[in-house]
Amino acid sequence: MDGAEALDATQEECMSSSLDAHLGSECGSDPIGRQVADTIRQLCAASIKLRNTIISGGVEARSGGGDTNAGGDVQKPLDIVADQMFLDAAKASAIAVYGSEEQDAAVMIDPAAPLALAIDPLDGSSNIDTNVSIGTIFSLLPVGEEHRSDPTSALLQPGNRQLAAGFFIYGPQLLLVLSVGKGTRVFLFSPSFGGFVEHIGSVAIPEETSEFATNAANYRHWDPQIRSYIDDCLAGEEGPRERNFNMRWIASMVADCYRIFVRGGIFLYLGDGRKGYTEGRLRLVYEANPVAFCVEQAGGAATDGSSRILDIVPRDLHARTPLVFGSKHEVDRVARYVADPSALTDRSPLFGKRSLFRT
């Protein structure tokens, strides 16, 4: 096979495993399925524009400072740019209402359209200055007849009603982690191909893990049950878990999440004793729900510490939630600690009282 033939073969392989082919086969031929697929294509186009803005290092990509959004976070210039890019994508799609972290209230687009889009346009934007991976998290929900009088109510459905969800990662590569309810796949943007091609055909999060992701600096603010769980992990081979754990924390949820998809692990961002943190800091509608949807479709689990994330009915667009997700058996174990750590038969009384963070 000469060089030209090899190139043609590579292009044919990309075509057969491309995102477009996947959407065509998995979203179905019914009108809603086609509109979900078309919306994902529009989001992909916006993600490429945003990626180009990020790598250009222009004024839009500087971190700077600005107003606070509805969640109380300081908006960076790139947050606002990203929000406008994805709002434009929503306007080019079959979207009735657009709910964004960067908007105080939902934006009405087309009340007769069949879909609602909830989105965090730029997750991890506090990491822009440090050149750490950042991302976009999105959720697509159906707009039923019961929502027609108030389409914004479609954004307040439990996550188990999502039609599709995923997130883009802007890092060394532009990646899309996507689920349309039939497993979770990873797609890679290929500039030579001009689109997204399949990178991981079927993500399977290992049920067991020896790695956790959390911000240990907040240890003193956590509930005793969570401190006990972390203490037991850090006790290593000599502790009740009888194995060594590693800790990883990037502080960009899309990056932490992707690592867990690739090699397993557990992510913990629960509520704590600080003012404004009692219900956690992550947003249920456009952060926790889409991540949980993808995690479950990859064989993992996602809870608020005890209850399944996808069964929670949001109170409002910007409602916060504690979040634990990742390897199923470890997520289940955290739930047992939250319920009653003393009931764990493999925890000795010694380790029930001991803390590795206190003398």
Residues that constitute the known binding site for substrate? 123-126, 215
Of these residues, 120, 211, 232, 256, which one is catalytic?
120
Pairing type for strands 115-123 and 164-170 reads unpaired
Structure tokens at 241: 């878990």
Amino acid code (one letter) for 156 = L
Identify the active-site residue in 50, 78, 117, 123: 123
Please answer whether residues 161 and 313 qualify as being in contact, where contact means their C-beta atoms are separated by less than 8 angstroms. no
Q: Is 129 a catalytic residue?
A: no
Catalytic residue among 19, 115, 117, 122: 122
Instruction: Tell me, yes or no, if 287 is annotated catalytic.
Output: yes
Catalytic residue among 102, 198, 232, 304, which?
102
Residues 6+ positions from 219 with CB-CB distance below 8 Å: 227, 230, 357
Question: Are the C-beta atoms of residues 199 and 171 closer than 8 Å to each other?
Answer: no
Is 123 among the catalytic positions? yes
CA separation for the pair 279, 49 (Å, rounded): 34
| Catalytic entry in 23, 50, 83, 101 | 101
Residue 174 structure tokens: 């532009």
**120: annotated active-site residue:** yes
Per DSSP, the residues of 269-295 read E---SSTT-TT-SEEIIIIIHHHHHHH
Binding residues are: 101, 120, 122-126, 215, 287
Q: What is the CA radius of gyration of the chain?
A: 21
Is 13 a known active-site residue?
no
Residue tagged active-site, from 20, 38, 60, 73 = 73
Tell the residue number behind the tokens 């003393």, with chain if given.
342
Question: What is the CB neighbour count within 10 angstroms for residue 137?
Answer: 28
What CA–CA distance (Å, rounded) separates 239 from 61? 46
Among the listed residues 19, 23, 50, 79, the single catalytic one is 79
Question: What residues have CB less than 8 Å from 349, skipping those under 6 apart?
Answer: none
Write the single-letter amino acid at 2: D
Single-letter residue type at 284: L
Binding-site positions for Mg(2+) read 101, 120, 122-123, 287
Alpha-carbon gap, residue 64 to 128, rounded angstroms? 10
**102 carries an active-site annotation:** yes
232 is catalytic: no
Contact between 282 and 323 (Cβ < 8 Å): yes
Q: What is the DSSP letter of 178?
A: E
Of 287, 296, 304, 330, which residue is the catalytic one? 287
In DSSP terms, 116 is beta-bridged to 97, 141
Concerning whether 198 is annotated as a catalytic residue, the answer is no
Rounded Cα–Cα distance for residues 348 and 231 (Å): 12
User: Which residues are known to be catalytic?
Assistant: 73, 79, 101-102, 120, 122-123, 287
